[in-house]
Amino acid sequence: MNDQQFLNGWAEFNRRKWNCDAIVKTYKASNSDAYCDSLLFLNNNKKLFLPPLNPYNPTFFHPTPTNKAQKIGSQWHEVSKVFIDSLYEYAGSANFYFPPEITDIRPFLWKGFIADIKYTYYVDLPYSLDHISPSLRNKMKKANTLDYYSVRTDDMEAIHHCLAGTEARKGFSHQLSVKDLLMAQELLGKERFRGYVCYSKDGAPVSASITLVTGDENAIGWISASKSEHLSDGIVQQLQNLEFNDLSEIGIKVFDFYGANIESVSVSKSHWGGSLRAYYGIRLPGYKEVVRAGRDWLALNSKKRMTK
């Protein structure tokens, strides 16, 4: 699977859904064939922003074939020089978020950007039930005993039915209609936009999730939702297990849980035995941040003078 196909499809979905500009940019090093593809979202003022339901700005770095870490690092720094010029042009008050695969943001810091840090969990696939907590295994057994069953599906109405359960429980809206889900499925294709539903023994959808396959070996858990009255029955765990197995069968090596920045969410995701990964947002400092930094600098130097 070509990541350009994902970038183009995801860009078009966001253009239509959020009425924004979505630009796929290619940044190429001047001294090698290394390059980077990235998706930039722009608001009405032609400045960077991140639309809802986007964890990061999808970005894929392609070094030339080599196993030398020093060479890969050098190529990334060369590509970053071109990348930085583009971000200067579109920089506003919003962060540009790199995916966790981009670990070296120093070239941007050296050019005046400031950084925020967030976290997610990565699960290596194929995975083993031996790596997850006993409580998850017990919940899966409970779901099986109660005759719940999980399948991969293209039924967006069943998935949307489950979204309403989480929205009512947590008091927010995904801002997604059945039409939106069908549009994303059409633009990305069913192999990249993969839906899963857990059904009760009576055939009612009670838990659902959608995964975005972003490349040959990577996938992101985009959205998930469940009916409150079934949550204690192990439906989420049964569905996640099916999803991991399905993704493993198509060669996915890494599943991104899409954020672990809220304590309760982080705890639940950690039980799957994944590794904690950082991801970075960068932006140019705004007026208020410059003033605040200047005030802190003056206060610090005033204290130094008083101690002399």
**Distance between CA atoms of residues 163 and 161, nearest Å:** 6
- Residue 297, pLDDT score: 54
Quick one: which H or E segment has residue 223? strand 218-226
Q: Which residue has the higher pLDDT, 28 or 67?
A: 28
CB 83 within 8 A of CB 27: yes
**Does the pLDDT at position 1 exceed 60?**
no
Report which of 47, 30, 33, 54 is spatially closest to residue 88, judged by C-alpha positions: 47
Confidence band of 271 (pLDDT split at 50, 70, 90): confident
- pTM score: 0.89
User: What pLDDT digit, counting tens, does each position of 167-225 carry?
Assistant: 888 788 899 999 999 999 999 999 999 999 999 999 999 999 999 999 999 999 999 99
State mean pLDDT over 46-63. 95
Residues forming a β-bridge with 118 = 279
Over residues 124-142, mean pLDDT: 89
Is omega for the bond preceding 99 within 30 degrees of 0, making it cis?
A: no
